[in-house]
Chain A
Amino acid sequence: MNPKQMQKFVLSYLQSTDCHILEKGPSHVTVKLSPAADRALTNRPYYWSFVDRTGAEPETMTFRWIFEPPGENSAPETPGLSPYMIGSTRVIQDYVYFGSGRLAQIFESVGQAGKNVMLFEEPPKGPGHPLGSQPYTAWLGANFKVGYECDMKREELYGMGISLATGIIDERFLEKLRDKRLTPKLPSNVHLLRNGLSLRKAMTQLENHLERKLRNADFGWAAEAEERRLDELARVGQYYEPMIERSATKEQAEALTARFNQRKEEIDWQYRPRVTLSVINCGIFHLPGIE
């Protein structure tokens, strides 16, 4: 994400969460947050529970976000920006850049606020068949994150979809959605095909499909991690085993064995190769056609 993309991202976030943009420049924005964004970003759980309980009119916070890292000259330890007032509103200033806590918070927030959707593609403009109704197929779209972990880690992302009517899987489903006009409302003159697949089963099939892909990947990294793990295990073994053997009392042997086991667990924890498959978000997409 380059600085320009990041700025665009933040602005669309503000828009999507109905924030009120007071003023905007080439590299900054002054914004009064919406209640939703305020809850997500200002870390004021007590205030919001007060508002929720009393029904008081919420007063959201106003920020001025500067889309650049703090300058070279200002020592990083010093809080370089102080709040200022517009009328009776206190405006808090923040540097927002890739790596800033604020952006991390926004990332976190979109993860929470963009978890599940139910959408319909808008039918092409112009008069369709006056009497005919367009058939729509329901798709389960799911975005996955795959983590390859040992003492190191890397990740892959997959945006796939499966037709609930036929079970056909589209590996580039998310990409295809990008150019479509989607709306939360069911368009007129549209009928939904019946599903041939339960949601659960569809999800399992998507997971299985992805799993098959993963099985065919290169596991060299895992073999190397396993080698490291065995190497480490051998090292602690040659340290503890003779000590345990030589120990004078039973208690001593037990204490040493406990410690030995702890070290072995730590090594396992650190090195044992594993793959995690997690759903980032998912939704139901009704698209024209019979697939």
Chain B
Amino acid sequence: MHSEPLQQRSPAAEPAEELLPTEAAPLADAPASEAEPAVAAGGRAAPAAPARKLHPLVDLYIDRSPFEELERRIERNGPWDDWGLYRMAWEAEEARRIGDFRELQSLRLLPGLTPLPHQLDTALRVLYEMRGRAILADEVGLGKTIEAGLILKEYLVRGLVKRALILVPASLVLQWVRELSGKFGIPAVAQKKAYTWGSDIVVASIDTAKREPHRSLLLDGEFDMLIIDEAHKLKNKKTGNYQFVCDLRKKYCLLLTATPVQNDLSELYNLITLLKPGQLGGEGEFAANFVADRRVAKNEEQLQAALGQVMIRNRRSDGTLEFTKRMVANVPLQLSPEEQNLYEGVTRFVREHAQAERGDMASMLSLVTLQREVCSSRDAVFLTLINLSKKVAPDSPLHARVWELVEMIRSIKANTKAQKTMELLESIQDKAIVFTEYRATQDYLIRYFKEHGLNAVPYRGGMNRGKKDWMMDLFRRRAQVMVATEAGGEGINLQFCHHIVNFDLPWNPMRVEQRIGRVHRLGQTEDVRIFNLCTTGTIEEHIVHLLHEKINMFEMVIGELGEILERLEKEEPLERKLAKLVLEADDPGELRKRIDGLGDSLLEAGRQFAKERDR
């Protein structure tokens, strides 16, 4: 009997005959058994079966499990909870209550996050106009991850999402996990072992996910939210990735891509079909209504209207975003006679040696490195020469040649470039980050600055995360200068600094862009000044010429470069092309001509890109 347990325990005067006959047969209520409350299948929020209809359109679900617990405790005479905690449980519910269908709840939970207006707008539109299924197609660097994080957080807070699957390229898995937990307090887990799939919010590489045994596991489950980064990789509907994503059971879905159309309008159609089949009509209708040519749309206005219901594309040029200017200056300098001597020596050595090595691309490339290093510092080239001498037989003539060069290094007493940089930093009188390609140069510069009373902190790729954070902090608080060898990697935000000195330049323009991107990003309030040191009469001069004068990459819109290069680099990375040019050109005039040719093809790719983008 569950009806009268109160009296059984109470020491009150009323005797046990109080059992009321009217209560002998409780209505339709099941006995308070140990039966678990209905658990939602597959993580869905509502209990499995509705109790009844509340309205012709609305089912009512009832979960009274705390009451069943009360019955059990009465039967067992306790234990009873604390009155204070009981009231606090209510207070906690009150504090978390979702009072309104629309008002954004997540922001008051994220005091550390101030989204930019376009990010907030995007999140709101996805949540309330697009009903949680959208393509986020902002240009690179505008914060698609922030937008996706906001949307996911809002659904989590509202209890509309419990399980989420985030599929990204393998290289971005950890970055996503860090962003979600650091910026949004979302406990995302990077998929490593089979059991991690059981976590509520999993970030995984799409290539892992689509393979067995993971695949079946995921296809059996269902996800309140699916997020796919770099979604343009799903453009081809015949691929396994596409089919896999199509088969996943999902409620809300976000596809992130900076390049919704790369080659073909049908790519966009396929992406949208993943999200909302029929949004652009059937395949035939789409082709008939909207496609004039593979890359050319017709009925532009209708197409844009239909796209606008599922896709948001913020652009830098929209004007709502305030990027400060980039101001670029070349700082030409003349090597000292001893340095020039060394440069000539190394160049001769490289040429002769390259003849011998013809065909072996790897060692040819490392020869060009020697030449680049001389332009940076004698320390950099010294180390490489020593390593080289260790590789060749002691009796070979090469060995002697290498040591001749080392002797030349000994004769150099000062580093012209370092002196120039010192002057530059003194005139800047503000925080500046000096980038170099070489560890040896980095060490030398820090030593050199220190000798001249300037405090500089190092930053390099090999440091672990904690050390990197520490160095960034030192730079922010204590030091005027940071000398860095690495620009890539996430989480390096140096908006408090707006001077960049390129002590030497990478030959990969993307890496130059990454350097600048550390400083010139959303949140930078000052114009960014970039100084390129440039030793006249060396290959460095050619590179600066190509990147600065010819293609003007320093002032290029952030994000475009990568997409342009991707087109050009299909066969061979630019870096290699350049190295080949350097080795194959017979004289500086010839080299300049060839480099200009390369610049022209970059410019052409850029024009092509702009044309497609503006379509």
Task: Determine the chain A residues whose CB is within 8 A of the CB of B7 once the complex forms.
Answer: 192, 194-195
Name the segment of A22-30, A54-62, A86-94, A199-207 touching the other chain. Answer: A199-207
Q: Are A282 and B67 in contact (CB under 8 A)?
A: yes
Question: Which residue of the partner chain, among A116, A155, A195, A271, contacts B4 with CB atoms under 8 Å?
Answer: A195
A13 on the interface (CB 8 Å rule)? yes
B84 on the interface (CB 8 Å rule)? yes
* Interface of chain A residues 205 through 234 with chain B (CB within 8 A): 207, 211, 214-215, 219, 221-223, 225-226, 228, 232
A247 on the interface (CB 8 Å rule)? no
B353 on the interface (CB 8 Å rule)? no
Task: Determine the chain B residues whose CB is within 8 A of the CB of A281 once the complex forms.
Answer: 66, 86, 89-90
Q: How far is the CA of A262 from the CA of B245 in the complex (A)?
A: 13
Task: Determine the chain A residues whose CB is within 8 A of the CB of B27 once the complex forms.
Answer: 200-201, 204
CB distance from B218 to the nearest CB of A (A): 14
Among A151, A174, A238, max chain B CB count under 10 A is at A151
Q: How far is the CA of A182 from the CA of B87 in the complex (A)?
A: 12
* Interface of chain A residues 101 through 154 with chain B (CB within 8 A): 101, 106-107, 110-111, 113-119, 133, 138, 142-143, 145, 147-149, 151-154
Question: Which residue of the partner chain, among B6, B81, B250, contacts A114 with CB atoms under 8 Å?
Answer: B81
Q: Are B277 and A263 in contact (CB under 8 A)?
A: yes
Question: Which residue of the partner chain, among A142, A211, A265, A283, contacts B54 with CB atoms under 8 Å?
Answer: A211
* Interface of chain A residues 247 through 291 with chain B (CB within 8 A): 259, 262-263, 265-266, 269-284
Q: How far is the CA of A76 from the CA of B113 in the complex (A)?
A: 8
Task: Determine the chain B residues whose CB is within 8 A of the CB of A69 once the complex forms.
Answer: 111-112
| In the complex, residue of chain A having the shortest beta-carbon distance to the beta carbon of B63 | A278
A51 on the interface (CB 8 Å rule)? no
| In the complex, residue of chain A having the shortest beta-carbon distance to the beta carbon of B18 | A194
Q: Are B14 and A192 in contact (CB under 8 A)?
A: yes
Q: How far is the CA of A198 from the CA of B65 in the complex (A)?
A: 17
Question: Which residue of the partner chain, among A110, A133, A186, A219, contacts B57 with CB atoms under 8 Å?
Answer: A219
Q: Are A114 and B82 in contact (CB under 8 A)?
A: yes
Q: How far is the CA of A203 from the CA of B66 in the complex (A)?
A: 11
Q: Are A110 and B67 in contact (CB under 8 A)?
A: no
B397 on the interface (CB 8 Å rule)? no
Among B32, B47, B73, max chain A CB count under 10 A is at B73
| In the complex, residue of chain B having the shortest beta-carbon distance to the beta carbon of A108 | B92
Q: Are A192 and B102 in contact (CB under 8 A)?
A: no
Question: Which residue of the partner chain, among A116, A178, A221, contacts B101 with CB atoms under 8 Å?
Answer: A221
Q: How far is the CA of A204 from the CA of B64 in the complex (A)?
A: 10
Task: Determine the chain B residues whose CB is within 8 A of the CB of A138 once the complex forms.
Answer: 6
Question: Which residue of the partner chain, among B6, B58, B273, B281, contacts A273 with CB atoms under 8 Å?
Answer: B58
A45 on the interface (CB 8 Å rule)? no
Q: Are B61 and A240 in contact (CB under 8 A)?
A: no
* Interface of chain B residues 479 through 493 with chain A (CB within 8 A): 491, 493
| In the complex, residue of chain A having the shortest beta-carbon distance to the beta carbon of B100 | A154
Question: Which residue of the partner chain, among A115, A145, A178, A271, contacts B81 with CB atoms under 8 Å?
Answer: A115
Q: Are A133 and B13 in contact (CB under 8 A)?
A: yes
**Interface range on chain A (Cβ under 8 Å from partner):** 35 or more
Task: Determine the chain A residues whose CB is within 8 A of the CB of B4 once the complex forms.
Answer: 195, 198
A99-B110, A277-B61 in contact; A196/B20 too (CB < 8 A)? yes
Q: How far is the CA of A17 from the CA of B59 in the complex (A)?
A: 39
Q: Are B64 and A211 in contact (CB under 8 A)?
A: no
Task: Determine the chain A residues whose CB is within 8 A of the CB of B10 once the complex forms.
Answer: 186, 192
A1-B95, A101-B185, A243-B282 in contact; A75/B493 too (CB < 8 A)? yes
Task: Determine the chain B residues whose CB is within 8 A of the CB of A42 once the complex forms.
Answer: none
| In the complex, residue of chain B having the shortest beta-carbon distance to the beta carbon of A6 | B95
Q: How far is the CA of A197 from the CA of B66 in the complex (A)?
A: 19
CB distance from A201 to the nearest CB of B (A): 6
| In the complex, residue of chain B having the shortest beta-carbon distance to the beta carbon of A198 | B3
Task: Determine the chain A residues whose CB is within 8 A of the CB of B185 once the complex forms.
Answer: 99-101
CB distance from B246 to the nearest CB of A (A): 7
B251 on the interface (CB 8 Å rule)? yes
Among A77, A237, A238, A277, max chain B CB count under 10 A is at A77
Q: How far is the CA of A70 from the CA of B159 in the complex (A)?
A: 26
| In the complex, residue of chain B having the shortest beta-carbon distance to the beta carbon of A259 | B246
Task: Determine the chain A residues whose CB is within 8 A of the CB of B63 once the complex forms.
Answer: 276-279
A199-B3, A259-B246, A276-B61 in contact; A116/B109 too (CB < 8 A)? no
Q: How far is the CA of A5 from the CA of B67 in the complex (A)?
A: 29
A168 on the interface (CB 8 Å rule)? no
Q: How far is the CA of A222 from the CA of B252 in the complex (A)?
A: 19
A75-B493, A192-B7 in contact; A153/B98 too (CB < 8 A)? yes
Among B20, B22, B54, B99, max chain A CB count under 10 A is at B54
A48 on the interface (CB 8 Å rule)? no
A4 on the interface (CB 8 Å rule)? no
* Interface of chain B residues 433 through 491 with chain A (CB within 8 A): 469, 472-473, 491
| In the complex, residue of chain B having the shortest beta-carbon distance to the beta carbon of A156 | B97
| In the complex, residue of chain B having the shortest beta-carbon distance to the beta carbon of A238 | B278
Task: Determine the chain A residues whose CB is within 8 A of the CB of B113 once the complex forms.
Answer: 76
A sample of 12 more A-B contacts (CB under 8 A), given A152-B102, A178-B87, A271-B131, is A78-B469, A110-B85, A114-B81, A119-B80, A157-B97, A194-B14, A195-B18, A199-B3, A222-B58, A276-B60, A277-B61, A280-B89
What are 5 A-to-B residue pairs whose CB atoms are below 8 Å? A69-B112, A107-B92, A192-B6, A200-B32, A275-B61
Q: Which 9 A-B pairs have the closest CB atoms?
A: A99-B109, A239-B278, A114-B85, A198-B3, A69-B111, A114-B89, A77-B182, A1-B95, A107-B92
The residues of A with any CB-CB pair to B shorter than 8 Å are 1, 6, 9, 12-13, 15-17, 69-70, 72, 75-78, 97-101, 106-107, 110-111, 113-119, 133, 138, 142-143, 145, 147-149, 151-157, 159, 164, 174, 178, 182, 184, 186, 190-201, 203-204, 207, 211, 214-215, 219, 221-223, 225-226, 228, 232, 235-240, 242-243, 259, 262-263, 265-266, 269-284
